[in-house]
Amino acid sequence: MIRQGRCWKLGDNISTDHIISGKYKFEAINDINKMLTHLFEEVIPGFHKLVRPGDIVVAGRNFGKGSSREQAPRLLKMAGIGAVVAKSFAHIFYRNSINIGLPVVISRKVPDVTQNGDVIEINLVEGYVKNITRGVMEPIQPYPKYIGQIVEIGGIVEYIRRYGRPPWQEATR
């Protein structure tokens, strides 16, 4: 599974409220699409008009901290973000992202050399993140097989819908 796209560079401690402010959580309770126009509105004004399918968010430490609202990773995916690369993630954001099929990758070196607009390539099978623009490549830990299956198929719900059980039940047989 390879993802390649233009980078949106962010710093440390980007919270779920930075991604989508909590003030919108009930406004669009019946239609999450209404929240898309507010994505990163306080961090990158007009982001919803600027983002392109396949773009990649690159950030520092503790990406997705704060509340456990699944809307944050879901809206990133709905906006077309192909993956998020960060030095570290809040655990619940990381898991919510996997559950909905949004690739999240821990990288220590690439975020430091990356600037807005750089082209990033992620190979989740061979295990690397590469800033193509700057010529910097970093090995990463590939996903365990069942996590890769969940992400590739579009999330845990789609996986269970297709196969009737989560992939880790296959791993324990």
> What confidence tens digit (pLDDT) does each residue in 74-123 have?
999 999 999 999 999 999 999 999 999 999 999 999 999 999 999 999 99
- Measure the CA–CA gap between 152 and 150, rounded to whole angstroms: 6
The CATH architecture to which 2-142 belongs is Alpha-Beta Barrel (3.20)
pLDDT per position as a tens digit, 112-132: 999 999 999 999 989 999 999
pTM of the complete model: 0.92
Question: Edge to edge, what strands does the sheet with 136-139 contain?
Answer: 104-106, 83-86, 56-59, 2-9, 119-123, 128-131, 136-139
The residues spanned by each domain of the chain are 2-142, 144-173
pLDDT per position as a tens digit, 129-173: 999 999 999 999 899 888 999 999 999 999 999 988 877 776 554
Pair of tokens at residue 116: 């807005």
Q: Which helix (H) or strand (E) holds 162?
A: helix 156-163
